[in-house]
Amino acid sequence: MAEKIVPVDQLVKEAKNVYKEQFGEEADIAVFAPGRVNLIGEHTDYNDGFVMPMALPLVTVIVGKRNVGQNVSLYTTTEFLKEAQKTTFELPNEGALIRAIARVGPKWAMYIKGVIVNYLGSIPPGFNAVIHTSVPIGGGLSSSASLEVATYLFLDQLVGNTNEAISLTQKALACQKAEHDYAGMPCGIMDQFISFLGKKDNALLIDCRHLTSSHIPLNDDNVVVLITNSNVKHELTGSEYPTRRKQCEEAALILKKVSLRDANLEDIKYLQSLNANPEIVTRARHVITEIQRTTEAAEMLKQSNFVKFGKLMTESHISLRDDYQVSCPELDSLVDLATEVEGVLGSRMTGGGFGGCTVTLVYSKSAEKVIQNIKNKYKGTPTFYLCKPSPGASVVS
């Protein structure tokens, strides 16, 4: 059986209760930002390619209130091994030319610190806040971006910023820079983009070069998106993610391209003719073919051709497994177990890889059969979420 997804209003209520326990007062600001699942287009965002995520009903909520000082006090309801759930730090002086906050303290707070430093408005005042999330941590569903985007929206409310001259794209870029600078994660723009721009009943095709996007309807009652969490945790900052990015940049350099967005299948043959490092060749092959798959998948979704869309999803997984080598036995097993059930249209790993989740497009009537098949045969303890595309970040009145 799939996990029950807690509604935003209930999460806000729970967070406000914790806030009162921690700070002895009522919170007067409440915001949320969703996690995401990427339907197709993996490891293409930092190669100027196309991606197609959807926002999830799994969200990060932040509630809080301005305080009288220049300190920030944060409490997270998530328990982290060997990390404090509460932390306090001082904001930079308003007259400082360089806005910086010490990169010390629990790692989860680095995402919030990074957003404060990169905030595109006046320096925020001191505040107290509680962070409460239903997005699985380390599951590849972008818990980090949902925290960053929720933080940015919270700061907007805190300083009363209604400046429409600062676009959602600029805000997403500020959150991305926060992750680069403070979490040490050289992520692409997809996660922050979809968390801001998600729309109910729509996936989002993002052009990561031009930072443009278009909503693509995904609201057929006959199909549903099943997310299966392998519950194998991954730590991208210290993993092979930066290595993959460097390999892609090296391939583009050899090909004299700005990025692999500009490459095609003939370029793969050219790399092979140069006797380039085989890993460079396979990394490039994944990115080039994945970009093609993603643009084709967008067209299939517009036509409600879910059979072809699902086939492209499964091809994406094979490429991620064999060419990009970011899958793992647990993810491969989940994909295999899903696709052996009649009614499954396609399945693939999603997120950075080396653990986390799979995403499966399945006819609604077959979803529970898939869950049961995986429960019976998977050598682990998976969790399941049945999802539809959900709204992006918002203030809770």
Q: What is the pLDDT of residues 106-130, one digit of tens each?
A: 999 999 999 999 999 888 899 999 9
* pTM for the predicted model, two decimal places: 0.92
The whole-angstrom distance between residue 76's C-alpha and the CA centroid of its chain comes to 19
* 160 inside domain: yes
Structure tokens that stand for 177 in this block: 């820079």
Q: Which of 42, 388, 353 is nearest to 190 (CA)?
A: 42
pLDDT of residue 240: 76
**Residues 62-97: pLDDT tens digits?**
999 999 888 999 999 999 878 999 999 998 766 554
- Domains identified in the chain, total number: 1
* Contact present, 241 and 352 (Cβ < 8 Å): yes
* 348 inside domain: no
Question: CB 128: neighbour CB atoms within 10 A?
Answer: 21
* 36 inside domain: yes
CATH number of the domain within which 167 lies: 3.30.230.10
Which letter does DSSP use for residue 257 in this model? Answer: -
Mark the ranges of the chain whose per-residue pLDDT is less than 50: 97, 236-237
Structure tokens that stand for 87 in this block: 């932390």
Question: CB 373: neighbour CB atoms within 10 A?
Answer: 16
Structure tokens that stand for 39 in this block: 């339907």
* 308 inside domain: no
One-character DSSP codes across 101-118:
----S-HHHHHHHHHHHH
* 74 inside domain: yes
* 115 inside domain: yes
* 336 inside domain: no
Instruction: Give residue 89's domain range.
Output: 8-214+391-395
* Residue positions annotated with a catalytic role: 191
pLDDT of residue 188: 82
Q: Which of 51, 158, 58 is nearest to 115 (CA)?
A: 158
* 362 inside domain: no
